[in-house]
Structure 1
Amino acid sequence: MGRLLIWIGLIVVVYWLWRRAQRPAPAKPSIGEAQPMVRCAHCGVHTPRATALSQDSQWFCSQAHLQQGASPSDR
């Protein structure tokens, strides 16, 4: 009886390992390349250059800050 249980256990383990090897690996989320960041001339928040707005060699994080212009304080 003991040998039968050992054989059944061995078969179950082999089957489990075989099924695990057959499964496709989970897809890793791709991390994009780092984008250059620019500092908003109005509020100082850093934002990706691709989404920032530019005017007179100054960068802004939103249309509202672009309209308000650069902050008078030196940040």
Structure 2
Amino acid sequence: MKYLLVAVVLIIAIGIWRNNRRKAAAPPPARPKPHHATEDMVTCAHCGLHLPASDALVGPDRSLHYCSTEHRHLGPR
């Protein structure tokens, strides 16, 4: 009976010790936020609006950028 009591106390003590070790361990590092690549900005040749190059419409000579088809048809100012 005495050995059974000692075994139960040891099991409880080991359980508490292991639980405290898990809490004290550093949490896993957070995932870094994805880094968005920078993008070139261009200016609409008609109205002067700045917009990303991927959203801009290219003019017929490929040197001018426009923000909409209407401005592309109107041409540069």
Tell me the TM-score range normalised by the shorter chain.
0.5 to 0.7
Give the CA RMSD over aligned residues: 2.6
Structure 2, unpaired ranges of 5+? 1-16
Q: How does 1:6-17 map to 2 (within 5 A)?
A: 16-17=23-24
TM-score w.r.t. the length of structure 2 is 0.55
Which runs of no fewer than 5 residues in structure 1 stay unpaired?
A: 1-10
- Computing the radius of gyration from Cα coordinates, the structure with the larger value is 2
TM-score scaled by structure 1? 0.56
**Separation of aligned partners in 2, 1:16 and 1:66:** 62
Aligned pairs for 1:1-75 (under 5 A) are 16-18=23-25, 21=26, 23-55=27-59, 56=61, 57-71=63-77
Query: Aligned residues, how many?
Result: 60
Q: Equivalent pairs: percent with the same residue?
A: 33
